[in-house]
Structure 1
Amino acid sequence: MPSPRILIVEDELIVALELEERLRRQGYAIAAVARTAEQALSGVERGEVDLALLDIRLAGGRDGIELAEDLRPWDVPIVFLTAHGDEETLRRVKAVGAQGYLLKPFDERLLRLTIETALHRHASERARIAAELARRRSEAVQATILAHSPDAVLVVDDDGHIELANHAAGAIFQPRERELTGLDIATLLPEFDLEQARAEPGALLSTLGQRSDQRFPVELTVGLAPLEDGERLVLIARDVSIQRELERELARARQLEVAGRLASGVAHDLNNLLSVVSMTTYMLPDAGPDELPELVDDLNSAIELGGALTTRLLALARRSCAQAEAREVDVNEILGALERLVRRSMNPAVDVRFELSAEVGGVTIDPTRFEQIVLNLAINANRAMPEGGVLNIRSAVRTRPEDEDRAWVVVEIEDTGVGMDQSIQRRIFEPFFTTRGDAGGTGLGLSIVKEIVEGAAGFLELNSEPGRGTCFRVYFPRRGQPCEDDDAPFETHEFDGRSRRVLIVDDDELHRRIMARLLRSWGLQVVHATGAGEAMLIAERSKAALALALVDIDMPYMDGFELAGRLEQGPRELPVLLLSGSAAAEEQRTRSPILHKPVDPELLLREVSRVLEFEEEEISQC
Structure 2
Amino acid sequence: MIRYAPAAFKKKSMAFPFAADLYIMETWELFGVFLSDVRNTEEQLKVSEERFRAIFDSISDAIFIHDPETGAILDVNQRMCEMFGYSKAEALRLSVGDMSQNEGSYTQAHAREWLARAAQGEPQLFEWLCKDKSGRLFWAEVNMRRASVAGTDQLLVLVRDISGRKKAEEALQQSERRYRELFDSMIDGFALHEIICDAEGKPCDYRFLEVNPAFERVTGLRAQDLIGRTVLEVMPKTEPYWIEQYGHVAMTGETLHYKNYSAELGKYYEVTAYRPAPGQFACIAVDITEQRLSDLAKERSEKLLQAIIDTEPECVKLLDAEAKLIMMNRAGLEMLQADSLDQVKGQCVCPLVTSEYRQAFLDLTRRVFEGETGTLVFEVVGIKGRHVWLETHAVPFRNEKDEIVALLGITRDITEHRRLEEQLRQSQKMESIGTLAGGVAHDFNNILTAIIGYGHLTLMSMGPDDPVRLNIENMLEAAERAAHLTKDLLLFSRKQLINKRPIDLNAIVRKLEKFLARVIGEDISFQTNLPDPELRVLADAHQLEQVLMNLATNARDAMPMGGSFTLTTGQVRLNEQFIALHGYGKPEMYALITVSDTGIGMDEETLKRIYEPFYTTKEVGKGTGLGLAVIYGIVRQHEGFIHAYSEPGLGTTFRIFLPLLASMQGDEQAQPEMVSPAQGTETVLLAEDNHVVRNLTETVLKDSGYTVISAVDGEDAVQKYREHKDRIQLLLFDLIMPKKGGKEAYDEIRAIMPDVKILFTSGYSPDIVRAKTTLGNSAAIAYKPISPGDLLRKVRSILDA
Task: State the TM-score, normalized to the length of structure 1.
Answer: 0.49
Task: Pick the structure with greater CA Rg.
Answer: 2
Task: State the TM-score, normalized to the length of structure 2.
Answer: 0.40
